[in-house]
Amino acid sequence: MKLSPTKWTRPPHTKPSHVGYKPPTLVGNSYLGRCYRSTRDRARVAGLNTWGLAAMNAVGCEQFDEAGLRAIMAANPSERYVVIDLRQEFHGFIDGRPISWVSVENSNWGNVGLALSDVVIKEVEKVNELILNCDGALIVPAYATFKSEPLAPPLVIADVSTARVETEAELVQRLGTGYFRLPITDHGRCSDADLDVLIFVLHRIAAQGDTTAIIHCQAGGGRTTLVMTLYDMLLNARHVKCVDIIQRQLALRPPHVRKAAKPPKNQLRLDMIVEKDLLKRVFYMWGER
């Protein structure tokens, strides 16, 4: 379903222009389920308008590992599952454990401007380089340590030549789950073109019936919350007020995430957050009709 510009005014879309300071560094991600939430969780939205929420069958989380994805599916029984990967930055898996190529200097903006096809091609090249260029053991620093946060153990691979190295698409499909990649710039909103594609995909998922959408980004915060909110609006805007949908999607996030959400000091990031909020409200008015 393509949204005609004549039917609604699309909000601004700021793209970072100062990117690519240094080559990204390979780091390991640890899935702890800290940002996990499900639209079936009634406790977190107690007292709020929950009309149509549970029927969404949607889960939000940070970057999972293979065991974490299996646990998410086990906790949300459905006939089908579709993973919606919102990460624009390169990432993959070694023996089911997630790895990423990130850079603190450019806020994960190294792939800004790249088409999805280019991101996928370069990502596959990076994953294959690990197999070809690593002989023997590989020690990957933890992402938390790389960001100067509390120390976390590194990811240690005894022998890369015998390890299973794969992209997220390969891992997800190996588990028999559907996969859709929508690369959104970290801290920002999706492009207008990607929004049209997202609407089509979400409609298809909803039309399939007993299907759980597993939506994630790097940390399970901004991008994940944005898409879960848009999905909620797409299905329920005719029955639930805009403020109620936004409020319940924020309430679904774990308490520590809600407490940690602070306005950024960087003006560019602040502008991008404002644009995300404006997109939600404009999108709601379109969905309401």
pLDDT digits 0-9 by tens, 100-142: 988 766 667 878 888 899 999 999 999 988 888 877 888 888 8
CB 194 within 8 A of CB 15: no
SS3 267: helix
The stretch 181-193 carries a mean pLDDT of 89
List 85's β-bridge partners, or say none.
181, 216
Position 172 pLDDT exceeds 90:
yes
CB 183 within 8 A of CB 86: yes
CB 181 within 8 A of CB 120: yes
Length of the chain: 289
The stretch 85-103 carries a mean pLDDT of 92
| Residue 142 DSSP class | B
| Residue 95 DSSP class | T
Q: Sign of dihedral through CA atoms 186, 192, 198, 199?
A: positive
Closest CA to 282 of 182, 192, 181: 192
Q: pTM above 0.85?
A: yes
